């Protein structure tokens, strides 16, 4: 069994940052609530996995329940930042579609006692794609606000980074776990570092949203979420 390093623990607990950020500000935009709820869900799952690990009990199966829920929450959160009804509806309809594909992949190709080879990378790629689409779509908006002051910029960027970090890890871990534990530990630490950056960005986005102005049509901005 690989003993988690301090960096891994920090990566796991960095998911608390968006939850704490949501708790200290008002009001609570819908997008923020979905994303923070996903982070809180994953923190609970990680705690359960840690408890089982200390007892010598296999804990891989927990991710097969927490990951699809967390990904669905991320998609519903990002849907709030889309610019058109069609785009928002597309992301929302992606949730049941993803759930069906997830169940099929788990039933036909996954071992609940090991790292996910296909389902988890799919979830990460979906989060990456939705985050990047939100960044690009809103980034080219005609009356685009200052990006560094926009909540959607930091949250969508953090989710894209989170998805990128998780997309390749499960299959790599499956390939390394049997013979190259040293490389597996290195991969785990790299992923933890990226998680820290990603969740810090998400939390920052939740506490520095672009303020709404009402000085006129030319200077007003829609507040996302």
Q: Over the stretch 153-200, which tens digit does the pLDDT of each residue have? A: 999 999 999 999 888 776 676 666 667 767 777 878 888 899 999 999
| 1 within some domain | no
Burial class (CB in 10 A: 0-12, 13-18, 19+), 170: buried
Q: Which residues of the chain have pLDDT under 50?
A: 211-225
Per-residue pLDDT at 217: 42
**By residue range, what is the domain housing residue 128?**
6-207
| 140 within some domain | yes
Q: Which of 126, 83, 69, 90 is nearest to 225 (CA)?
A: 83
* Gap between the terminal Cα atoms of the chain: 42
Per-residue pLDDT at 172: 72
Per-residue pLDDT at 186: 80
| 59 within some domain | yes
Per-residue pLDDT at 110: 85
| 223 within some domain | no
Distance CA 68, CA 65 (A): 6
Per-residue pLDDT at 215: 37
Burial class (CB in 10 A: 0-12, 13-18, 19+), 126: buried
| 135 within some domain | yes
| 213 within some domain | no
> Model pTM?
0.84
| 153 within some domain | yes
Per-residue pLDDT at 81: 94
Per-residue pLDDT tens over the stretch 120-136: 889 999 999 999 999 99
Per-residue pLDDT at 212: 45
Per-residue pLDDT at 171: 66
Residues 6+ apart with CB under 8 A from 45: 62, 63, 65, 66, 70
Considering its fold, how many domains does the chain have in total? 1
| 225 within some domain | no
Per-residue pLDDT at 85: 95
């Amino acid at each position: 069994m690989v003993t988690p390093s301090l960096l891994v623990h920090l990566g796991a607990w960095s998911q608390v940052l968006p939850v704490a950020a949501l708790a200290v500000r008002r009001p609570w935009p819908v997008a923020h609530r979905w994303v923070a709820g996903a982070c809180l869900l994953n923190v609970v799952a990680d705690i359960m996995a840690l408890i089982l690990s200390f007892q010598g009990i296999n804990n891989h199966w927990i991710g097969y329940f927490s990951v699809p829920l967390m990904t669905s929450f991320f998609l519903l959160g990002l849907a709030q930042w889309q610019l058109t009804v069609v785009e928002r509806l597309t992301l929302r309809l992606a949730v049941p579609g993803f759930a069906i594909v997830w169940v099929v992949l788990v039933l036909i190709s996954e071992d609940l006692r090991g790292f996910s080879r296909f389902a988890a990378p799919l979830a990460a790629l979906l989060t990456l794609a939705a985050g990047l689409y939100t960044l690009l779509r809103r980034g080219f908006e005609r009356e685009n606000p200052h990006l560094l002051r926009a909540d959607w910029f930091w949250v969508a960027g953090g989710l894209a980074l989170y998805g990128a970090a998780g997309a390749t890890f499960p299959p790599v871990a499956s390939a390394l776990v049997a013979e190259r534990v040293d490389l597996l530990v290195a991969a785990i630490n790299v992923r933890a570092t990226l998680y820290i950056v990603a969740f810090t960005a998400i939390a920052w986005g939740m506490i520095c949203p672009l303020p709404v102005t009402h000085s006129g049509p030319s200077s007003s901005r829609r507040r996302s979420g």
